[in-house]
Structure 1
Amino acid sequence: MIRLACFGAGRIGRVHALNAAMQPGVTLAYLADPVATPAREALAAQTGASIADPDTIFADGRIDGIIIASSTDSHAGLLLRAAEAGKAVFCEKPISLDMALTEEVMRKVEASGVPCMLGFQRRYDRSFRALRDRVASGASGPLEQVVMFSRDPAPPPRSYVETSGGMFRDSSIHDVDMARFLLNEPIASVYATGSCLISPEIGAAGDVDSVMITMVSASGRQVQITACRRGPMGYDQRLEVLCANEVSTAVQYPATRRSKIRPRGGDRRHGARAYQIAGACHGALAPWGQNSTI
């Protein structure tokens, strides 16, 4: 039996805690969040976890691994403690908003030898991964352009924005990671612009809620990312990859699926033919509520 502890009982902490608790052969032994809220108590009751402080968790030799789903400013310290205690760790992104601290944590975690994974879950989405694998196989021809749309269901509260690192480092980091995953080469240049068009609270916190990002890879391939904190259709993720032989897409609704369009009979003069392959459905994120302050 694998015994885990989860740090954070906010929106994403709830997602990870429930997922861990429902896995066969896994026990969520502890839940850590210093904010005593009805949401924390309910999550502990639902998962069977005991509410505990970090010292108790790291001192318990029966705990095999930890989930770090607390506020951004807590990630680095918890990662270092996990490395020192020999605990496997899954950590939400980013490691830290400070680059020097990020590099220090990376070195120490790597030297400790503990298994460590960061929360870039889109790499494991079946549709996105199938699309990437097809491009990597060469069947699509050379990749030329990537276009992504990324929208959350609703804006987060100001309290979350103030500790998250802002939209570029907290939300759009997923899209930047997916671009790098698809291109499989370094990014040479980035241009980004952001506005506050949705939430005055986010603007008051000094952040933006609507962004566009243009990136160019080392070989000149192009990426365009459009993202915002609110989607009229709910959680909205779409990806299109233009290659020499076909256009491949991954869309979330009505169910996540992947499609590709290529010339009919291999002759571009005679129109196109589309194929769709069903993929995995994304689970919708819960509405923004009480956020962890660990």
Structure 2
Amino acid sequence: MPNSNAETGGLINRLPVVESEHLMIYGAPLDLSRPRPARVYDYPLGGKDNSAVDREAAERLLRELPDARTAARAARAFLREAVTSVASAGVRQFIDIGAGLPTAENTHQIVQRIAADARVVYVDNDPLVLSHARALLADSPQADARTIVVDGDLCDPWGIIQHPHVEDHLDLTRPVAVLLSGVLHFVTRQPVAEEIVRILRAAIPAGSYIVISHFWDDGAARTRAAARVYSEVVTPVTTRTIDQILPFFTGLEPVEPGVTRIGRWLPPAVDGDDIMSIAERADMCRLPLVCGIGRKGVE
């Protein structure tokens, strides 16, 4: 495994401090008096693992940003497509960073339908997310042997990769998929976000994949307003242009259709589909979300 000091020039030792003013969502004790992204995200998805303050924040978001519910469902739809694609390509190990609260069609459920022996690590630092994820796995003993939950911080990628439970559960000499679905836009400083991805890329072997979805700065006033409202109501978030998102895929081979807006990643929809109707798919295609999958080749 690469040495963290050599790979990062020491920056990784400063990451949690550098971002601490922005990433209050990480490493904090359970606090139901303030909205948290995972719980606010849970509400428009129809979940019940949220507090009154989370619902109040979500309702304000929905009033000012009517697309928020569709955006939450779109992010899940992309994750489902990405996980299916990577598992179908033969990858049997997954690290889902910033996994959020359990919903329908969680990563381990998608993957293990394709390959029963696939192994999944969920990583989060929200106490409620951790407790609910562990409860979900406790109710599914078969999945529990192949799926674990660890307390980890996006801004400490080496802490995730070198976590003893991760090292015990996965064989990091074999391909692994790292899922960064809807989390990098919480890292507001571009150099730090790029360094996080670079470290993760350095830690995984050839044949591995990195999956990213990100809030996109498409130049529209409503998109910037959405970022402002979310930052005011929940936690600081940043949009990025395509040119700012592309560096996250440096050193990776893009999987078709490439690093592009979410509409090109979504499967066809049919009326009566309880996952995504034709009308909802059309709404998702208009969202300012950019998605991509990159494969690490032989260096």
Normalised to the residue count of structure 1, the TM-score between the two structures is: 0.35
The structure number with the bigger radius of gyration is 1
Q: Which has the higher strand share?
A: 1
More helix by share: 2
